[in-house]
Amino acid sequence: MGMQIFNGYVFVCYHAAEGWLKSHVVLQAFEARAARMSVACAQKLAKFVNPEEGFAEISPNLVEASVAHCQLIVVSKFIEKLQQDIPGKGVKEQLEILCSVYALHLLHKHQGSLQCRCAS
């Protein structure tokens, strides 16, 4: 796994498919995506003389960045909770699978905002 910065944007790069089943890899991808989208909004907003016009103009981008941040929170709290003891035979294992499916679904759905060009 690697993190690369290109034009001020952070890109998460992982070449092995198995890596996406590791919680720290998934969490870094969500963190990088949320940070990158927030920075992009801030940079776009800084170009406007009138902040109110800027907010009106980039509101779709702000919504997307907000959604990315909320997804980061949900995934990070899910992963955090799985670090604790969970009672019930097989419950923790099933929740780990559910967490992976949920996170991978979101990563697949938003793969355009996660892709990078990495040196092989």
pLDDT tens for the chain, 120 residues long, are: 445 444 444 445 555 667 777 888 889 889 999 999 999 999 999 999 998 999 999 999 999 999 999 999 999 999 999 999 999 999 999 999 999 999 999 988 987 776 554 443
* CATH number reported for the structural domain that contains residue 86 in this entry: 1.20.140.10
Q: What is the DSSP code string of 56-90?
A: HHHHHHHHHHHHHHHHHHHHHHHHHHHTS---STT
Residue 42 lies in a domain: yes
Residue 13 is predicted with a pLDDT of 56
Residue 118 lies in a domain: no
CA distance 95 to 79: 10
Residue 110 is predicted with a pLDDT of 86
Tell me how many domains the chain contains.
Answer: 1
Q: What does pTM read for this prediction? A: 0.78
H or E segment to which residue 6 belongs: strand 2-6
Q: Return the structure tokens found at 3.
A: 């993190």
Q: Return the structure tokens found at 82.
A: 């799985």
Domain around 81:
2-113
Residue 8 lies in a domain: yes
Residue 120 lies in a domain: no
Q: Greatest CA span in the chain, whole angstroms?
A: 59
Residue 54 lies in a domain: yes
Residue 98 lies in a domain: yes
Q: Minimal CA–CA distance to 48: which of 36, 62, 29, 68?
A: 62
Residue 32 lies in a domain: yes
Residue 120 is predicted with a pLDDT of 37
